[in-house]
Amino acid sequence: MIFEKIREYCLKKKGVTEDFPFDERTLVFRVMGKMFLLTDLEPPFYINIKCDPEKAIELRERYEGVTPGYHMNKNHWNTIDLNSNIPIREIFNWIDHSYELVLLGLSKKEREKFEKNF
């Protein structure tokens, strides 16, 4: 199942945690306490991931299964329909991009803590 592959992929990244801050259905993946991916545990399966604003628009134009982030900042988040025909490798690349954006947004102190602990 694609959802399990995505979960395993996220948890292999340095410093990643998962929790349910909103309700018992919405799983959130974080690095240094900052969200980089959200998903609903019940079908239909979608994920929300951070994205560079220009790249976000490009992906929405290229893939029917990519839309502005549901309940998120539409400039910085995309929603990905996991039932669409988007190759899993592409989704993994976008997850990497989201994770990296969060790391780039960390303060100097947070980055030092990340490097020290992970």
Indicate the average pLDDT of the chain: 95
pLDDT band for position 39 (cuts 50, 70, 90): very high
Which residues lie closer than 8 Å to 97 by C-beta, 6 or more apart? 49, 50, 51, 52, 55
Mean pLDDT on 52-71 = 96
pLDDT at 76 over 80: yes
Predicted pLDDT at 101: 97
Residue 89's pLDDT band (cuts 50, 70, 90): very high
The answer, yes or no, to whether residue 1 has pLDDT greater than 80, is no
- 3 pLDDT higher than 90: no
- Confidence band for 6, pLDDT divided at 50, 70 and 90: very high
Output phi, psi for 97, to 5 deg.
-60, -45
Class of domain 2-117: alpha beta
Average pLDDT estimate for 91-100: 98
pLDDT at residue 38, rounded to an integer: 97
Query: What is the value of pTM for the model shown?
Result: 0.94
Given this model, what pLDDT does residue 2 score? 85
Give the residue extent of every domain in the chain.
2-117
pLDDT of residue 111: 92
Please give the full DSSP string across 3-66, using - where no structure is assigned. HHHHHHHHHTSTTEEEE-SS-SSEEEEEETTEEEEEEESSSSPEEEEE--HHHHHHHHHH-TTE
